[in-house]
Structure 1
Amino acid sequence: MSEERVVLVTGASRGIGAAIAQGLAEDGHKVAFAARNPADVQDKAKWLGGMTVPLDVADPASVAAAVAQVEATLGPIDVLVNNAGVALSAPFARTTAADWAQTLAVNLTGSFHVTQAVVPGMQARGFGRLVFIASNAGLTGYAYTAAYCASKHGVVGLMRALAVELAKHGVTSNAICPGFVETDMARASIDRIMETTGRTEEEARAALAGLSPQRRLIQVEEVVHAVRALLPASARGINGQAIAVDGGQVLH
């Protein structure tokens, strides 16, 4: 591969983050799998020629230490994939201040901390790719997810502001906004539907898939493909975009 990059992926121990980190490592990039519990992917990262690093995105000291460790081991970070996130579901009246604070601390402020740690180096080198894994909940609203929707709308706003501010430095900023992806998070949504409606697993899955005009859940490989497309130098014209990967759900 002609454009090998150093990539930091947060929340890389499972789900979308693990798939992105693995996919980019298989492409030949030098990838740091960052997570609160990186031991879960240590063997995979080592086998793929990458590294693992402990990272709590809500803790600025943890962020600084992780970025320093990655750059000392792999080199300056060219690509940041802000994927770490939490999703809490509750009626708004029962959403606690702690729920709200935790969701924003990880999903939004966490993205701020990690991005702020890597942007100066990207600016100095004249190249960088900021990829925020948001959600189509950052493009529309969903009941019972006020904190999550607010945090993801904030992520999209942060991405757009940075796209304008950093463009002259060769740094692009974009967000991938998946719908329901076939991961543990989707499984939790299916379980909630079963619990609250009495539907069978098959019926609950069909209800979730039915939110998309394609009548299916998104596969993690589709999200990886969208991230991959943003990395080359030839993708520099793609900047400030919130790219929905949801089968048309936000239009449905």
Structure 2
Amino acid sequence: MTLAGRRALVTGGGSGAGAVIARRLADAGAKVTVCGRRSIDPAPGIRAQVCDITDERAVQALFATGPFDIVVANAGASDSAPLTRTTLDQFRAMIDVNLTGSFLTIREALRTMGGDWGRVIAIASTASLKGYAYVAPYAAAKHGVLGLVRSAALEVARKGITVNAVCPGFLDTDMTRRSIDTIVATTGRTPEQARASLAATNPMGRLVPPADVAEAVLWLCAPGSSMVTGQAISISGGETS
């Protein structure tokens, strides 16, 4: 498969799964832009910009550098605490970065995509599909992302644009390692025990490799996926809906 001639944007593309997705798109021939809240040192051949995806004007300015044929709404953050100890500010922070940021990204993508071909892909989570203890605001935001994706897909289905979500379980990334550190600090478990507890939430019993997420993104951009839209593709050994 080649994406030569396609322009792609990956939010939160400076590290973790976003960086792997950006590199894979570039390897397939796309001209890739990544963005993050802070300055990014991109891989060779990848352009980087600073953008806070919760800032409407900043997101509009980012898309003014397009248009983009492929938009991967990957930027996000997680936090954990019992619901009864979660502050309103913590809840709002999870909604802002995970749901509002996805809304602004997807909205501007659909506003600016031209021609009769486009791919919008939200990197959501298995927390879009089910609940997890101690991350209720994150799960609520990710459930919202999935509703956004399914609704947007119906609005543009006749325009050659597909909108889908890739929903990985716990990834083998720095974000998960920070979650492991939190578990160790709050429960007294060893890092190995904490890692095993997170891996156990995936039916295959291991953390999801970021490369698997990147390959799912590539498949959604490939010939043969043009009729796939409004879907949540689970990468954890769970079901696809």
User: TM-score, normalized by length of structure 2?
Assistant: 0.94
For each residue in 1:175-200, what CA deviation from the matched residue of structure 2 results, as whole angstroms up to 9, or x when unmatched?
Answer: 00000100111112222222233222
Equivalent residue, structure 1, for 2:73: 82
User: Quick check: 1:201 aligned with 2:191?
Assistant: yes
Deviation of 1:105 after TM superposition, in Å, equals 1.1
Native 8 Å contact 1:13 1:37 kept in 2: no
For each residue in 1:97-144, what CA deviation from the matched residue of structure 2 results, as whole angstroms up to 9, or x when unmatched?
Answer: 11111111111111111221121232x412111100000000000111
User: Quick check: 1:65 aligned with 2:61?
Assistant: yes
CA distance in 2, matches of 1:3, 1:27: 5
Equivalent residue, structure 2, for 1:110: 101
Native 8 Å contact 1:15 1:183 kept in 2: yes
CA distance in 2, matches of 1:233, 1:170: 12
User: What SS class does the counterpart of residue 72 from structure 2 fall into?
Assistant: strand
Match of 2:181 among 172, 191, 195: 191
User: What SS class does the counterpart of residue 65 from structure 1 fall into?
Assistant: helix
1:3 partner letter: L
Deviation of 1:160 after TM superposition, in Å, equals 0.2
CA distance in 1, matches of 2:193, 2:85: 27
- How many residue pairs align between the two structures? 239
Pairwise CA RMSD: 1.6
Matches within 5 A, 1:212-227: 212-227=202-217
Native 8 Å contact 1:13 1:33 kept in 2: yes
Equivalent residue, structure 1, for 2:12: 11
User: TM-score, normalized by length of structure 1?
Assistant: 0.90
User: What SS class does the counterpart of residue 31 from structure 1 fall into?
Assistant: strand
CA distance in 2, matches of 1:68, 1:211: 40
CA distance in 2, matches of 1:205, 1:22: 27
Deviation of 1:154 after TM superposition, in Å, equals 0.2
CA distance in 2, matches of 1:2, 1:199: 46
Deviation of 1:161 after TM superposition, in Å, equals 0.2
User: What SS class does the counterpart of residue 213 from structure 1 fall into?
Assistant: coil
Equivalent residue, structure 2, for 1:234: 224
CA distance in 2, matches of 1:101, 1:196: 23
Higher share in helix: 1
User: Unaligned stretches of 5+ in structure 1?
Assistant: none
Matches within 5 A, 1:97-246: 97-122=88-113, 124-246=114-236
The percentage of counterpart residues that share the same residue type is 45
Deviation of 1:50 after TM superposition, in Å, equals 2.5
2:148 partner letter: L
Native 8 Å contact 1:218 1:247 kept in 2: no
User: Quick check: 1:55 aligned with 2:56?
Assistant: no
Query: Structure 1 residues 52 and 198, CA, compared in 2 at 3 Å: closer, same or farther?
Result: same
User: What SS class does the counterpart of residue 80 from structure 2 fall into?
Assistant: coil
Deviation of 1:13 after TM superposition, in Å, equals 1.2
